[in-house]
Amino acid sequence: MFHWLEKNPFLFTVMVFVTVAFAGVITILPDFAKSSQPVVGTKPYTILQLAGRHVYIKDSCNACHSQLIRPFKSETDRYGAYSLSGEYAYDRPFLWGSKRTGPDLWRIGNYRTTDWHENHMWDPTSVVPGSIMPAYKHHFTNLADTETAYAEAVTVRDVFKTPYDQEGMPQLGSLDDSQATALEDAKVIAAGMKNQAVKDAVANGQIPEIVALIAYLNGLK
């Protein structure tokens, strides 16, 4: 019936493009028509979590790990409930990713612990035999940048109206106040770790990158 179309490559290409474009518009347009609202319970990242997110981006963790659980049984069985758009209301940039060399991390805070992350980042094969992920031992000595994290939080609060300082949301205050809060949060993370050098650093008022990164990963639920 459509042999004439198959004999005309240019027209065939145009028809395929139009069909795919139309299907894409039908699929995407309804979501654009909805007002974007955060899922109930979603909160902006704390300063410590933001600092950890910066480490995650700096070391290109999103090059191998996605943060988007698709509505397929194979994924929901493994990772949990599929992702909802409102869960990313405070993510800038989004870290959905498309490369899945490693598992999706969007709900990793529901099934991994601080102790697991510590061992995994120090020596991935110690907890995942055969893992091809490199060790990230420098995270245990490099210090997290809470000042830049604070600057981002203030920017998204003022420009994008991210609800920091509101009831039930993370409080910013001054830079010194926010860094003091981040240190208190870091002490909670460090208490669940074994590495004595990390514990000593936090006790002395410093926050190693590994502590901030674990705070971020623990918050992905």
Q: For 196-215, how does the pLDDT look when each residue is reduced to its tens digit (9 = 90+)?
A: 999 999 999 999 999 999 99
* Mean pLDDT confidence for 51-64: 96
**Domain co-membership, 27 together with 60:** no
Greatest C-alpha distance within the chain: 78
In a shared domain, residues 60 and 23: no
Say whether both 9 and 52 belong to one domain. Answer: no
CATH number at residue 116: 1.10.760.10
Which residue do the tokens 């940039």 mark? Answer: 93
**Whether residue 8 is found in the same domain as residue 111:** no
Structure tokens, 9: 């490559």
- Token pair belonging to 5: 């179309």
108 vs 26 pLDDT, higher one: 108
Give me the mean pLDDT over the 69-86 stretch.
94
- Report the pLDDT averaged over residues 182-189: 98
Instruction: Give the CB-side neighbour count of residue 153, counting CA atoms within 13 A.
Output: 30
Neighbours of 166 (CB within 10 A): 12
Q: Are 205 and 183 in contact (CB under 8 A)?
A: yes
21 & 66 share domain: no
By three-state DSSP, how is residue 143 classified? strand
Question: Cα–Cα distances in Å, from 109 out to 30, 106, 217?
Answer: 31, 8, 6
Residues 167 and 89 reside in one and the same domain: yes
pLDDT score recorded for residue 22: 87
| pLDDT over 90 (residue 34) | no
pLDDT for 111-170, tens place per residue? 999 999 999 999 999 999 999 999 999 999 999 999 999 999 999 999 999 999 999 999
Asked whether residue 102 is domain-assigned, the answer is yes
In whole numbers, what is the pLDDT of the chain averaged over residues? 92
Rounded Cα distance, 79 and 36, in Å:
24
Same-domain pairing of 24 and 78: no
Q: Which domain holds residue 13?
A: 3-33
pLDDT of 195 higher than 60? yes
How many angstroms separate the CA atoms of 74 and 77, rounded? 5
Positive or negative, the CA dihedral 197, 203, 209, 215 is positive
CA count, 13 A, side-chain hemisphere, 99: 7
**Which tokens hold the place of 182?**
């981040």
In the chain, what percentage of residues exceed pLDDT 70? Answer: 94
Residues 113 and 7 in one domain: no
CB burial string 25-63: b at 16+ within 10 A, e below: eeeeeeeeeeeeebeeeebbbbbbbbbbbbbbeebebbe
Establish if 39 belongs to a structural domain: no
Tell whether 41 is covered by a domain: no
**Distances from the Cα of 100 to the Cαs of 31, 64, 97, 188, in angstroms?**
25, 5, 8, 31
Q: Is residue 180 part of a domain?
A: yes
Least confident piece of the model among 13-17, 77-81, 130-134, 136-140: 13-17
Q: Rounded to whole angstroms, how far apart are CA atoms 140 and 198? A: 6
- Is residue 42 in a domain? no
Closest CA to 50 of 134, 135, 133, 162: 162
Q: Sorting pLDDT into bands at 50, 70 and 90, what band is 72?
A: very high
Integer CA distances (angstroms), 98 to 67, 114, 190, in order: 9, 26, 32
